[in-house]
């Protein structure tokens, strides 16, 4: 999703594009699908030079981006919620590998057709899925 699409969506919702919103969108684009918490986004921005955005501004921007459908919240109920860009692809779904110790989440894409070939459900048409796999990451083993 590009900044141009965000600008159009914000304009349609009668919101304006601010430097902070644009920066937060850029953080999610650069994350390449990685799930990020509010703190992750805030710390990423703080590490950049000349960016002194408050944590509350980051939270309000994330809330707005979630409300208008640019990002979505994923809550594992094991700590803070994480966020990701909304994907535009209907033929790919998510598999999340979640570390039970540190909470790190790694996202993988799995083709629905491949899933259909390994599941024994002949009487069900699979349209979409989300799969969470819990375990320990290499750092926590």
- Binding-site annotation, residues for Fe cation: 113
Annotated binding site: which residue ranges?
99, 102, 113, 137, 140
Asked if 69 and 5 touch (Cβ cutoff 8 Å), the reply is no
CB atoms within 10 A of CB 25: 22
Annotated binding site for Zn(2+): which residue ranges?
99, 102, 137, 140
Cα–chain center distance at 25: 11
Q: Residue 26: exposed, middle, or buried by beta-carbon count in 10 A (0-12, 13-18, 19+)?
A: middle
């Amino acid at each position: 999703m590009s900044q141009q699409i965000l600008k159009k969506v914000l304009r349609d919702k009668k919101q304006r594009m601010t430097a902070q919103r644009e920066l937060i969108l850029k953080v999610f684009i650069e994350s390449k699908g990685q799930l990020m918490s509010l703190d992750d986004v805030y710390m990423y921005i703080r590490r950049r030079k000349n960016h002194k955005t408050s944590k509350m501004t980051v939270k309000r921007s994330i809330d707005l981006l979630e409300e208008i459908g640019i990002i979505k919240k994923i809550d594992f109920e094991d700590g803070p919620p994480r966020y990701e860009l909304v994907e535009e692809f209907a033929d790919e779904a998510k598999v999340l590998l979640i570390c039970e110790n540190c909470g790190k989440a790694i996202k993988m894409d799995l083709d629905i057709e491949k899933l259909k070939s390994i599941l024994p459900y002949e009487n069900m048409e699979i349209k979409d899925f989300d799969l969470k796999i819990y375990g320990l990451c290499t750092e926590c083993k």
